[in-house]
Amino acid sequence: MRVKKITDVLKIKVFTDSGDFFGEVEEVNLNENKIDGWRIRVDGSIMSLIGGARGVIIPHKFVKAISDVMIINKAALPNPDSDFDDASDNLM
């Protein structure tokens, strides 16, 4: 297993596990010296799902893999049929 520095992960591309481009890693959120979440700058068609916000914070538990790209679980994305008031906790 190759260990990456957090600075190596900044600016990498983020894709969903279904292969959709999601955005780019902008920042990492730490809590008690552990990764708590990732701030992702959203790009493209995903912006319509999150109400025009520029990005979201994805909890680390939804990250499936990090290498040359980051793969996140599609369940981390807000459901377009859900009420945005419930999903707004993850919006920036």
Spans of all domains in the chain: 6-75
Residue range 6-75, CATH number: 2.30.30.240
- Report the predicted TM-score, pTM, of the whole model to 2 decimal places: 0.76
- What confidence score (pLDDT) does residue 43 get? 78
Distance CA 2, CA 63 (A): 16
Distance CA 20, CA 82 (A): 20
Asked if residue 14 has pLDDT above 50, the reply is: yes
Model confidence at 90, pLDDT cuts 50, 70, 90, reads low
Q: Which long-range contacts (CB under 8 A, 24 or more apart) does 76-81 make?
A: 77/16, 77/22, 77/46, 77/49, 78/49, 78/50, 80/49
- What confidence score (pLDDT) does residue 76 get? 78
pLDDT digits (tens, 9 = 90+) for 50-74: 776 788 899 999 999 999 999 999 8
- What confidence score (pLDDT) does residue 84 get? 41
Asked if residue 4 has pLDDT above 70, the reply is: yes
Model confidence at 10, pLDDT cuts 50, 70, 90, reads very high
Question: Exposed/middle/buried for 72, CB within 10 Å: 0-12, 13-18, 19+?
Answer: buried
